[in-house]
Amino acid sequence: MEPIGLAVVGAGYWGPNLVRTAQATPQLRLEWLCDLDEERARGVLGPYTTVRATGSYEQVLADPAVRAVAIATPAGTHFDLVRAAIEAGKHVLVEKPLTPSGDESAKLVELADAAGVVLMCDHTYCYTPAVRKIRELVRGGEIGDVQFVDSVRINLGLVQPDVDVLWDLAPHDLSILDFVLPEDVRPVAVAAHGSDPINAGHACVAYLTIWLSSGSMAHVHVNWLSPTKIRTTVLGGSRRTIVWDDLNPQQRVAVYDRGVDLTPAASLGPEERRAALISYRVGDVQVPALPEHEALRGVMTEFAAAIAEGRPALTDGRAGLRVVRLLEAAGRSVAAGGARIEIGGEQ
């Protein structure tokens, strides 16, 4: 097949990464880099390139050689840019979050469905070898029923001027959770607490609890103020437990055959069963071999494949919508002092 003509929109922090990986993806042909600052776009491309730079989004959308756009602009601009691309018949890859509003995100999903185009979210972590392996282990039943998820994403990070720490960092953890959980398990409620100890104007430290339809819970801690960087997620199952340490290249994923077993006798009554002995299982630790490849290359390859095959992407617009709905509910919970917010009807 002929490579798919692509335009990247946004030459700021993330756009140059999209340019680089698009040029390294055989299924794609980069046609344009669009930015309001056209000189910045030219600087990203360099002097020796056939890719054109422009400050006109309308020019990009009018080009019949462009079948798809990848948008890396501030979240507040996503709705208008994505809608215009969809209405022009273009497939769209958009950075997280899909939009700052659940209603806007839902509208984009509806428009993409009606237009028959691919709407994909760049939930980059979902395309890392580690998270792909975790999804395989969880959905393949290797760890049994998911009993808990505990995720920590903290560092001395850039305090954002326009969003709080939940909207900045938690989309990573929420998109991963959405990606790896079994298809029949979904969030049903959230509660969140946030604090602003440096008077930044919004939460810099936050704790998010998520109740799942299976009866288990997930917990996410995000923090801009930690002097140490931690990127760890633990997924506990009834058979095994997965520990993912993203900062440990020698052992990113470890599977522990350790846990708690409840072994009530069938002849015991309900009260006696609750008092049955608990046994602790201590078995081997397995460290799966993971391939080495860049996650963003996986994003670009999946985007091209979804377009070519006429199917939804692994992290499609609906996945982006689910993440935004969770973030909105978390924000309402913070404003209500950590109240539990039901989200079952919003998914």
What's the CA angle centered on 319, arms 102 and 77, to 5 degrees? 50
Distance separating alpha carbons of residues 306 and 131, to the nearest angstrom: 20
Burial of 274 (0-12, 13-18, 19+ CB in 10 A): exposed
Report the phi/psi class of residue 294: left, alpha or beta, with left for phi > 0 and alpha for psi in -120 to 50: beta
Identify the segments of the chain with pLDDT beneath 50.
345-347
Distance separating alpha carbons of residues 313 and 303, to the nearest angstrom: 6
Distance separating alpha carbons of residues 26 and 336, to the nearest angstrom: 49
Element (H, E) at 60: helix 57-62
Provide the 8-state DSSP code for 27.
T
Domain definitions of the chain by residue range? 4-124+295-315, 126-293+326-346
The predicted pLDDT at position 1 comes to 77
User: What is the distance between the terminal CA atoms of the chain, rounded to a whole angstrom?
Assistant: 37
Element (H, E) at 334: helix 317-335
Q: What is the pLDDT of residues 109-168, one digit of tens each?
A: 999 999 999 999 999 999 999 999 999 999 999 999 999 999 999 999 888 888 899 999
The predicted pLDDT at position 137 comes to 97
CB atoms within 10 A of CB 59: 14
CB-CB contact of 173 with 207 (8 Å):
no
For residue 146, what are the contacts with CB-CB under 8 A and spacing of at least 6?
138, 181, 182, 185, 212, 214, 216, 235, 236, 237
Strands 187-195, 205-212: pairing kind: antiparallel
DSSP 187-226: EEEEEEEEE-TT--SS-SEEEEEEEETTS-EEEEEEESEE
- CA quadruple 69, 73, 77, 78: dihedral positive or negative? positive
Q: Which fold has domain 126-293+326-346?
A: Dihydrodipicolinate Reductase; domain 2 (3.30.360)
Beta-bridge mates of residue 4:
28
The predicted pLDDT at position 252 comes to 95
DSSP 292-323: ---HHHHHHHHHHHHHHHT---TTBHHHHHHH
The predicted pLDDT at position 282 comes to 74
For residue 133, what are the contacts with CB-CB under 8 A and spacing of at least 6?
253, 288, 290
The predicted pLDDT at position 292 comes to 86
The predicted pLDDT at position 160 comes to 84
Element (H, E) at 333: helix 317-335
The predicted pLDDT at position 51 comes to 94
Beta-bridge mates of residue 269:
none
Helices (H), 67-206: 78-87, 102-115, 129-139, 165-180
Distance separating alpha carbons of residues 146 and 182, to the nearest angstrom: 9
CATH ID of 4-124+295-315, from 3.40.50.2300, 3.40.50.300, 3.40.50.720, 2.30.30.240 = 3.40.50.720
